[in-house]
């Protein structure tokens, strides 16, 4: 009997662990803030399970238990003890734990200068700006890259309706409310690719407003940021050059910016280094030429309700050229 | 009639505990909600704790008065609610005051 | 003791008793056939109400099945995003506003009079109006789904998403006007329940002997009075913003999106306790009967209910933990959320203690109660979890919260409701429901529910947010989603079995119900006819049928009060609120069309306004008011001499002043109006903390010259004085009285006009800023109360002219007087705030 239960625990643990890990999981923390919250979560589950077990045991005894035990459960002592004293004491403890953790979450950069990133929620994408208050901020969209080990201050705003910035592996969520700026201090300890999602219903495509967060080593991040701050790469292939001309002629620059070209629109996402991102349009569409083309001609199917109009004005060759150009913007 | 129960006054007496809790609760919330945007240099924590002390004193006084004048309830407290409600309100006031001891005022709740 | 309250049996010979019974039957007869629509009897209205609530439960349940079907597979295309967004909005809205609150209100209307030993509720036509308004309005609102006109902003309708810019379609207006007016229905019900529970109990049923369900319904109703006005104000504000551009919630113009959240959740949190407490009350009635033992710690439970009601008003910001409000403030609400868990703990252990003290018979009602205990406790524990601020930062707006809220709402309200259906069916139907089908329904529902909602806790922690129409396959959420959908269908199957049971076995009967099959101890199980109890008993204990041996026999033998109808109309005994001593005899109205027609035209008014057919809307509005006046005309009957109500007691039939039930109803209504105005005052002060610049600017030139303020205050003072003088004139001179009333009305209206003129002349326009919008909102609220006072005032003058108002028969004037003094006070507060505050902070 004992060996059976021991054998059962292995797969059970594997199931639990597998259920807990994930690129958008609260229980798979990648930083100290999320770690504290994960510990709290396990503690609360344990506490809750114990209390539930106690209540169920009392109810079971009340319904069909032995006479002596039922007398105890029926007593005034039990009602006051279990219904008043126990909650009073345990909730005081819980409140204390919660307050301690809340206090620990209050931004403390430990003397290190945090990396400033400004994120603005738009219907239904993320406008990102690195080092926003310096002379040369770096604009991007829908994907955020951060260095491991360094505190990062996210300044969160909204351009239209209420959104919420949530990367569960790193920290709890914080709303983006028009008219105010909220601030989130986070530190990532583990490199990897994580997923975030807008957590406040913001309209039609709310379900698809996801975010990729890439945690890199500090050296990798530094070189990435350096590259990101440069204007767009010169297209090397003739097809790409053709694509760039088509891109500019069709007026895409009215909404999109590609630094180093006349395209300077800010209504839509910055495309200067589009090709280096993990996804295009929606987080589950991998970055490749086919998906870029699809987003242009069939965007309403990929992301229903999105504000970019569909562009079916191009011939197949032209479309391919534009896609090649954009995919090459690394 | 002797000892006639007067509904409104006995209602208020019985509910005075929770009413004091409510006044304290909205008081401390108001203090931070108004003084933080106005950036007043007053120590919000101290003001809050002062309000807590006041509330606890009022609650103690009220339950002592009720218990001593009418241990069995009687006309002023016909359902004998005053003492339990006051005790519960005291617990709630103490819990509301704990954050005043632990957390700094006016600091946004930013997770992480 | 018992005997002295009976008439001596030798005075009542059998033939006279039979004659009296026939008289009662004739007076309380129901209209025949389709004319049942004009009935006002609480049992009929209660039945309609509960039927409508169950209908909306099924409709919203189908919406839930649609949602679960869409989410069963990743990337599913069963529902388009727009349709899904409408469906989840309607599911939440219909469940919360058209099912949950009306269902428990309906149980109150159905059960309370019989439980308290009364023949009906004190305002039968108000109850009928409330029902028809809810039913017609609810059907129209639900119908918007079929025309692609349903709202899609979520049941909580956060701006700016729901502003006219981001939600240009008419759906949001349907929500705002439709739900706004259904809240009026809930408030009407609340007024009736408060007066009913406090003033129409059987003689001798002092508060400590009152059944627990009555305590919970009383708390429920008082909570509605203070909580609903906040959301009513918010809906008025959002509708004004959408239609006229008054920027309450637009940050760029000095408004704030969080203002809506504060108002909505100040209502929203008490709302869930409004839903839960009556269900807890039902459990407190069912457990003692099923366990065959009186409820343990009875007064402690009453205390817990009152404490829950009170503390629940301090929790609302826990729905806003992720908005960036200072951590210290958030923690206050975390602490209060913990505090509310203690009263719940008391109730749970008191129920368990009662079961332990007796011997539980495991029939269907008991099964649903045990299911409730499990599910609600689990839900309460996840509630403690999300009450902790840091945990909520992860769990908020995820499927973890979806799981939590369904555990507490389905566990805490639906399961007790089903227990109640199985428990009380024999009291209102000639056949009890089936035990066999009941068990099937229970197990399918219990297992199905847990299979559907338990996995959602995990999904939330795996990162699945709320209100998403789909999710990608690569995140690994599909297995749990699929399992959840299977559970949902199992839960639906259980509900279907219950419906089958209703169809097969429920036979509504007012005259020959199945009876006290459970051997319960409370009054609603006494034999009832069309007229309720054969005679109104004098009650001495908490469980009269257990503890007073011959009560049932004596009630039926007409040995107590009101064995007949001394005034020849429907009657109820009004008793004192604490000791339940008889005070006077209340004459109640019989069936009539005005309440149903008034409700129909009120619904039409709101719906036509939504589709912008203003002229027709106004026409319907006038008709609605006309029918309300017709209905009012028939009330306030002429005072008579004292009558003999049996057992040697003579009571007056007409009372005016603070003892009158009508006075109480108006006072409660004024608390509603006051809560509405306080919500406005809060909004005004709140926006000042958010955008103080507008106030500073106003002090420099935007606020009208001081003369306007003084003049307005002067007019209000004159209005109050005139009304006070009118009261004095009532005894002396009809002409003098009429003159004073007219003067009061004119000065009240004048003060309002002066306010508007003053602001308009200082070039303040309501669409300019949040500050300006609030200034004009004060006048909007003042207009509402002034309009009511003017209508009632004119009505009073007509009654005076028709000879139906004098110094003795003066309840209509008392109503006017109360409304008018309140209107003056509100107006004065408004003037002080709008004129004084900007100057004070400058």
Nearest CA in chain A to C152: A203
The alpha carbon torsion through C645, C647, C652, C655 (nearest 10 deg) reads -90
Query: Per-residue confidence at B3, pLDDT binned at 50, 70, 90?
Result: very low
Model pLDDT, residue B77: 72
pLDDT tens for each residue of C499-557: 999 999 999 988 889 999 999 999 999 988 888 899 999 999 999 999 988 898 999 88
CB contact under 8 A, A22 and C462: yes
Surface-to-core class of residue C568, CB atoms within 10 Å of its CB (0-12 exposed, 13-18 middle, 19+ buried): exposed
Q: Kind and range of the H or E element at C353?
A: helix C341-357
* Distance from the A93 Cα atom to the nearest Cα atom in chain C, whole angstroms: 11
Write out chain C residues lying below 8 Å of A283, CB-based. Answer: 472
Residues on chain C touching A207 (C-beta within 8 angstroms): 81, 467-471
Contacts of C311 in chain B (CB under 8 A): 18, 21, 92
Q: What is the pLDDT of residue A13?
A: 55
pLDDT at residue B41 in the model: 65
**How far is residue C646 CA from its own chain's centroid?**
35
A272 within 8 A of A252, measured Cβ to Cβ: no
DSSP strand E in A123-221: where?
A: 125-130, 138-141, 143-147, 152-158, 163-165, 174-176, 182-186, 192-197, 210-216
User: What ipTM does this complex have?
Assistant: 0.94
Q: Report yes or no: C355 at the A interface, CB cutoff 8 Å.
A: yes
Q: Which residues lie across from A125 on neighbouring strands? A: A122
Taking contacts as CB-CB distances below 8 angstroms, the residues of chain C near A20 are: 461-462
| Cα separation, C531 vs B3, whole angstroms | 37
pLDDT at C704 over 90: no
Paired sense of beta strands A210-216 and A143-147, if any = parallel
In whole angstroms, what is the distance from residue C373 CA to residue C349 CA? 10
pLDDT of residue B72: 62
Residue B42 forms contact with C (CB below 8 Å): no
pLDDT digits (tens, 9 = 90+) for B69-82: 766 656 667 778 88
Q: Is the pLDDT of residue C263 over 80?
A: yes
The DSSP output letter for C536 is: B
Residue C259 with chain A: CB contacts under 8 Å: none
Q: Which structure tokens are listed for A141?
A: 């969209």
Which structure tokens are listed for C536?
């109104």
Q: At C694, list the tokens.
A: 């507008």
CB contact B72 to C (< 8 Å)? no
> Could you tell me where the DSSP H helices lie in chain B?
7-38, 44-69, 82-102
State residue A1's pLDDT score: 39
Instruction: Give the model's pLDDT for residue B110.
Output: 64
Is A182 in the B-facing interface, judged by CB distances under 8 Å?
Answer: yes
Check if C313 contacts A (Cβ < 8 Å): no
The angle that helices C81-93 and C171-199 make with each other, rounded to 10 degrees, is 10
C677 Cβ partners below 8 Å, 6+ apart? C781, C826, C829, C830
Name the pLDDT band for C614 (thresholds 50, 70, 90).
very high
In the prediction, which pLDDT does C40 show?
95
Taking CB atoms and an 8 Å limit, are C342 and B91 in contact across chains? yes
Q: How far is C374 from chain A (nearest CA, A)?
A: 7
A155 closest CA partner among A112, A106, A115, A119: A119
**A305 vs C contacts (CB less than 8 Å):** 81-82
Chain C hits for A121, Cβ within 8 Å? none
Contact B96 C332 (CB under 8 A): yes
* B99–chain A nearest CA distance, Å: 7
C667 in reach of chain B (CB within 8 A): no
Question: Do the Cβ atoms of A78 and C300 come closer than 8 Å?
Answer: no
Cross-chain Cβ contact C257/A164 below 8 Å: no
DSSP per position, C604-656: HHHHHHHTT-HHHHHHHHHHHHHHHHHHHHT-SPPP---EE-STT-EE-S---
Distance CA C19, CA C25 (A): 10
B99 to A107: CB separation less than 8 angstroms, yes or no: no
CB contact under 8 A, A99 and B103: yes
Strand, helix or coil for residue C249: coil
Task: Name, in order, each residue with C-beta under 8 angstroms of C449's C-beta and a sequence gap of 6 or more.
Answer: C375, C406, C410, C411, C487, C491
Tell me the CA end-to-end span of chain C in Å, nearest whole number. 70
Which SS3 state, helix, strand or coil, does residue A143 take? strand
Contacts of C338 in chain B (CB under 8 A): 95
Q: What is the mean pLDDT of chain C?
A: 94
Q: Is C26 on the interface with A (CB under 8 A)?
A: no
Q: Which pLDDT belongs to residue A5?
A: 45
Helix (H) or strand (E) holding C134: helix C124-143
Chain B residues 79-98 with CB within 8 Å of chain A: 91, 95, 98
Nearest CA in chain C to A164: C322
Considering only CB atoms, C311 lies closest to which of B38, B92, B111, namely: B92
Q: What is the pLDDT of residues C51-109, one digit of tens each?
A: 999 999 999 999 999 999 999 999 999 999 999 999 999 999 999 999 999 999 999 99
Closest listed residue to residue C772, CA positions, set C679, C695, C831: C695
Pairing of strands C570-575, C582-588: antiparallel
What is the reported pLDDT for C17?
Answer: 87
Chain B: residue nearest A181 by CA? Answer: B108
Which of C198, C112, C129, C29 lies closest to C635 in space, CA to CA?
C129
Q: C299 and B103 in contact by Cβ < 8 A?
A: no
Residues of A in contact with C297 (CB under 8 A): 76, 79
| Predicted confidence (pLDDT) per residue in C715-734, tens digit | 999 999 999 999 999 989 99
Mutation site, C329, C346, C581, C682, interface B, largest B CB count within 10 A: C329
Q: Are C375 and C407 in contact (CB under 8 A)?
A: yes
Distance CA(A203)–CA(C493), nearest Å, equals 33
pLDDT above 50 (res C491): yes
CB nearest to C390's CB, from A78, A102, A199 = A102
Q: What SS3 class is residue A21? A: coil
Chain B closest-CA separation from residue A100 CA (Å): 7
Residue B3 forms contact with C (CB below 8 Å): no
* Of C666, C658, C826, the residue nearest C225 (C-alpha): C666
Nearest to C157 by CA among C251, C92, C79, C100: C92
Question: What single DSSP character describes residue C17?
Answer: H
Distance CA A22, CA C470 (A): 18
CA B111 to chain A, closest CA, distance in angstroms equals 5
> Distance between CA atoms of C478 and B15, rounded to whole angstroms?
51
Mean pLDDT over C159-178 rounds to 95
- Please list the ranges in chain A whose pLDDT falls under 50: 1-5, 8-10
A109 touching chain B per CB within 8 A:
no
Cis before C665? omega within 30: no
Specify the higher pLDDT residue, A98 or C9.
A98
Can you tell me the distance from the alpha carbon of A91 to that of C311, in angstroms, rounded to the nearest whole number?
A: 16
Query: CB of B99 within 8 Å of any CB in chain C?
Result: yes
Contacts of B99 in chain A (CB under 8 A): 99
Of C303, C324, C686, the CB nearest to B108: C324
Strand order in the sheet with A115-122: A138-141, A125-130, A115-122, A152-158, A182-186
What residues of chain A lie within 8 A of the CB of B103, using their CB?
A: 99, 102-103, 106
Size of interface B-C (CB pairs under 8 A): 113
Please identify which residue in the block is written with the tokens 């009261």.
Answer: C727
Q: What is the 3-state secondary structure (H, E, C) of A71-113?
A: HHHCCHHHHHHHHHHHHHHHHHHHHHHHHHHHHHHCCCCCCCC
φ/ψ of residue C784, rounded to 5 = -60, -45
Using pLDDT thresholds of 50, 70 and 90, give the confidence band for residue C1: very low
Chains that touch C (3 or more CB pairs under 8 A): A, B
Alpha carbon distances (Å) from C240 to A322, B76, C173, C267 = 47, 48, 10, 20
What distances in angstroms separate CA C645 from CA C270, C321, C537, C560, one per listed residue? 41, 58, 12, 9
């Amino acid at each position: 009997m004992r060996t059976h239960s021991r054998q059962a625990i292995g797969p059970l643990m594997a199931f639990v662990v597998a259920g807990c890990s994930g690129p958008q999981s609260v229980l798979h923390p990648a930083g100290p803030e999320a770690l504290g919250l994960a510990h709290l979560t396990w503690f609360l589950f344990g506490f809750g399970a114990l209390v539930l077990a106690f209540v169920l045991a009392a109810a079971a005894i009340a319904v069909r238990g032995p006479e002596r035990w039922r007398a105890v459960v029926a007593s005034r002592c039990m009602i006051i003890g279990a219904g008043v004293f126990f909650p009073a004491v345990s909730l005081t403890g819980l409140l204390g734990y919660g307050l301690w953790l809340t206090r620990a979450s209050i931004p403390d950069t430990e003397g290190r200068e945090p990396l400033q990133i400004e994120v603005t929620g738009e219907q239904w994408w993320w406008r990102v700006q690195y080092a926003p208050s310096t002379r040369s901020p770096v604009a991007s969209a829908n994907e955020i890259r951060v260095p491991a080990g360094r505190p990062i201050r996210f300044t969160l705003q909204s351009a239209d309706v209420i959104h919420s910035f949530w990367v569960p592996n790193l920290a709890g969520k914080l709303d983006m409310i028009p008219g105010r700026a909220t601030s989130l201090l986070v530190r990532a300890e583990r490199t990897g690719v994580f997923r975030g999602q807008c957590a406040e219903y913001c309209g039609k495509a709310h379900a698809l407003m996801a975010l990729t967060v890439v945690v890199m080593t500090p050296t990798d991040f530094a070189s990435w940021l350096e590259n990101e701050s440069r204007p767009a790469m010169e297209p090397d292939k003739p097809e790409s050059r053709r694509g760039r001309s088509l891109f500019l002629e069709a007026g895409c620059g009215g909404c999109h910016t590609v630094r180093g070209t006349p395209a300077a629109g800010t209504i839509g996402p910055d495309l200067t280094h589009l090709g280096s991102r993990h996804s295009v349009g929606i987080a589950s569409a991998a970055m490749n030429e086919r998906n870029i083309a699809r987003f242009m001609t069939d965007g309403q199917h990929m992301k229903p309700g999105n504000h970019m109009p569909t562009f079916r004005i191009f011939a197949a060759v032209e479309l391919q050229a534009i896609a090649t150009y954009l995919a090459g913007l690394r | 009639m002797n000892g006639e129960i007067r509904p409104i006054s006995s209602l208020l007496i019985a509910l005075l505990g929770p009413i004091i809790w409510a006044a304290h609760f909205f008081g401390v919330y108001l203090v931070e909600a108004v003084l933080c945007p106005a950036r007043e240099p007053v120590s919000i924590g101290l003001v809050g704790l002062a309000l807590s002390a006041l509330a606890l004193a009022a609650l103690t006084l009220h339950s002592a008065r009720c218990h001593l004048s009418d241990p069995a309830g009687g006309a002023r407290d016909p359902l004998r609610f005053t003492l339990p409600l006051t005790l519960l309100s005291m617990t709630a006031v103490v819990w509301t005051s704990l954050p005043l001891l632990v957390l700094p005022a006016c600091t946004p709740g930013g997770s992480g | 003791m018992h005997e002295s309250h009976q008439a001596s049996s030798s005075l009542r010979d059998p033939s006279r008793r039979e004659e009296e019974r026939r008289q009662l039957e004739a007076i309380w007869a129901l209209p025949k056939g389709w004319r049942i629509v004009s009935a006002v009897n609480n049992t009929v209205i209660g039945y309609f109400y509960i039927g409508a609530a169950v209908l909306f439960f099924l409709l919203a349940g189908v919406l839930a099945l649609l949602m679960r079907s869409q989410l069963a597979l990743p990337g599913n295309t069963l529902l388009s995003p727009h349709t899904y967004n409408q469906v989840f909005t309607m599911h939440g809205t219909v469940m919360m506003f058209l099912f949950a609150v009306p269902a428990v209100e309906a149980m109150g209307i159905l059960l309370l009079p019989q439980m308290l030993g009364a023949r009906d509720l004190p305002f039968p036509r108000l109850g009928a109006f409330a029902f028809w308004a809810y039913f017609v309005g609810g059907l129209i609102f639900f119908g918007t789904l079929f025309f692609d006109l349903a709202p899609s902003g979520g049941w909580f309708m956060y701006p700016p998403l729901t502003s006219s810019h981001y939600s240009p379609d008419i759906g949001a207006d349907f929500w705002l006007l439709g739900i706004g007016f259904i809240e009026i229905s809930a408030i009407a019900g609340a007024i009736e329940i408060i007066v009913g529970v406090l003033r129409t109990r059987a003689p001798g049923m002092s508060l400590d002997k009152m059944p627990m369900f009555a305590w919970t319904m009383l708390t429920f109703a008082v909570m509605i009075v203070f909580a609903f006005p906040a959301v009513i104000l918010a809906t008025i504000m959002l509708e004004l913003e959408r239609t006229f551009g008054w920027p309450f919630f637009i940050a760029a113009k000095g408004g704030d999106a969080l203002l809506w959240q504060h108002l909505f959740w100040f209502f929203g949190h008490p709302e869930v306790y409004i839903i839960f407490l009556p269900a807890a009350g039902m459990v407190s009635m069912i457990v003692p009967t099923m366990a065959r033992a009186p409820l343990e710690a009875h007064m402690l439970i009453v205390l817990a209910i009152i404490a829950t009601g009170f503390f629940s008003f301090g929790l609302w910001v826990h729905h806003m933990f992720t908005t960036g409000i200072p951590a210290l403030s958030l923690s206050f609400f975390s602490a209060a959320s913990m505090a509310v868990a203690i009263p719940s703990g008391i109730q749970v252990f008191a129920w368990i203690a009662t079961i332990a003290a007796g011997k539980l018979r495991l029939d269907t009602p008991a099964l649903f109660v045990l299911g409730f205990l499990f599910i609600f406790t689990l839900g309460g524990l996840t509630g403690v979890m999300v009450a902790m601020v840091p945990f909520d930062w992860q769990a908020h707006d995820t499927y973890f919260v979806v799981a939590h809220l369904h555990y507490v709402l389905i566990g805490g309200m639906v399961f007790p409701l089903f227990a109640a259906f199985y428990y009380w069916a024999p009291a209102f139907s000639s056949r009890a429901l089936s035990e066999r089908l009941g068990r099937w329904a229970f197990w399918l529902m219990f297992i199905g529910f847990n299979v559907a909602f338990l996995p959602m806790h995990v999904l939330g922690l795996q990162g699945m947010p709320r209100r998403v129409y789909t999710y990608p396959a690569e995140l690994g959420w599909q297995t749990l989603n699929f399992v959840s959908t299977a559970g949902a269908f199992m839960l639906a199957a259980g509900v279907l079995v219950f419906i089958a049971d209703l169809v097969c076995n429920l036979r509504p009967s007012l005259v020959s119900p199945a009876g006290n099959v459970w051997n319960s101890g409370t009054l609603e199980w006494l034999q009832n006819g069309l007229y309720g109890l054969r005679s109104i008993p004098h009650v001495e204990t908490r469980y009269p049928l257990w503890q007073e041996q011959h009560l049932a026999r004596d009630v039926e033998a007409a040995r107590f009060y009101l064995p007949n109808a001394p005034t020849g109309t429907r009657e109820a005994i009004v008793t004192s609120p604490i000791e339940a001593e008889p005070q006077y005899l209340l004459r109640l109205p019989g069936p009539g069309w005005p309440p149903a027609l008034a409700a129909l035209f009120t619904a039409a008014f709101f719906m036509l306004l939504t589709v912008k057919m203003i002229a027709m809307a106004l026409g319907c509005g006038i008709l609605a008011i006309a029918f309300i006046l017709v209905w009012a005309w028939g009330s306030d009957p002429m005072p008579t001499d004292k009558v003999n109500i049996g057992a040697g007691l003579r009571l007056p039939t007409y009372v005016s002043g603070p003892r009158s039930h009508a006075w109480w109803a108006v006072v409660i209504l004024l608390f509603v109006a006051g809560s509405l105005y306080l919500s406005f005052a809060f909004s005004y002060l709140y926006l000042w903390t958010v955008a103080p610049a507008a106030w500073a600017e106003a002090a420099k030139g935007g606020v009208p010259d001081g003369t306007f303020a003084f003049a307005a205050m002067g007019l209000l003072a004159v209005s109050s004085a005139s009304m006070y003088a009118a009261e004095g004139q009532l005894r002396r001179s009809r002409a003098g009285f009429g003159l004073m009333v007219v003067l009061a009305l004119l000065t009240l209206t004048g003060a309002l006009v002066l306010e508007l003129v003053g602001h308009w002349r200082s070039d303040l326009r309501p669409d300019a800023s949040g500050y300006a919008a609030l200034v004009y909102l004060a006048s909007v609220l003042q207009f509402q109360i002034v309009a009511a006072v003017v209508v009632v005032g004119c009505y009073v003058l007509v009654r005076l002219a028709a000879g139906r108002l004098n110094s003795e028969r003066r309840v209509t004037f008392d109503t006017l007087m109360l409304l008018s003094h309140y209107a003056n006070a509100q107006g004065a507060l408004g003037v002080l705030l709008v004129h004084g505050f900007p100057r004070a902070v400058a």
